[in-house]
Amino acid sequence: MSTATTPTIDIHLTEKAAEEIKRFMANEEDLPETAGLRVRVVPGGCSGFQYSLNIEEDSRSGDFVLNKHGIRIFIDMFSAQYLNGVTIDYVSNMMGSGFTFDNPNATGGCGCGSSFSV
């Protein structure tokens, strides 16, 4: 007798990234309590894939829904295979500020840091 197991995914969100996401969401008008951050991998960039972050009002059918630092995170099935174990951080320095991704699944990347290959 075999038992089917549901795939799992986990990503890490630093406190700094969580603070920035909460700040951004607080500035959005009329967001429902079901709102969260969609983290996706989309084809593109100079290395084949790039990351996408969007605020959405609710999860979609088939999404993984995680709760990190009080933020709901939505991840679709396609993106999940590339995002398991990723750490999302927010950095601010003389060169600018933005979200960074430390992806243990990536086999390569580009100088801009916004795309990767597997």
Q: How many domains does the chain have?
A: 1
pLDDT score, position 7: 66
User: Is residue 1, in this structure, part of any structural domain at all?
Assistant: no
User: Is residue 112, in this structure, part of any structural domain at all?
Assistant: yes
- Domain with 103, as residue range(s), is 12-117
User: Is residue 57, in this structure, part of any structural domain at all?
Assistant: yes
Q: What are phi and psi of 53, to 5 degrees?
A: -125, 125
Residues of the chain scoring pLDDT < 70: 1-7, 45-47, 108-118
Task: Report which residue type is found at 38.
Answer: R
pLDDT score, position 93: 84
pLDDT score, position 52: 92
pLDDT score, position 14: 97
The CATH number given to whatever domain includes residue 28 is 2.60.300.12
User: Is residue 4, in this structure, part of any structural domain at all?
Assistant: no
Which strand (E) or helix (H) includes residue 77? helix 77-83
pLDDT score, position 106: 75
pLDDT one-digit tens code per residue, 18-40: 999 999 999 988 999 999 999 99
User: Is residue 2, in this structure, part of any structural domain at all?
Assistant: no
User: Is residue 3, in this structure, part of any structural domain at all?
Assistant: no
User: Is residue 25, in this structure, part of any structural domain at all?
Assistant: yes
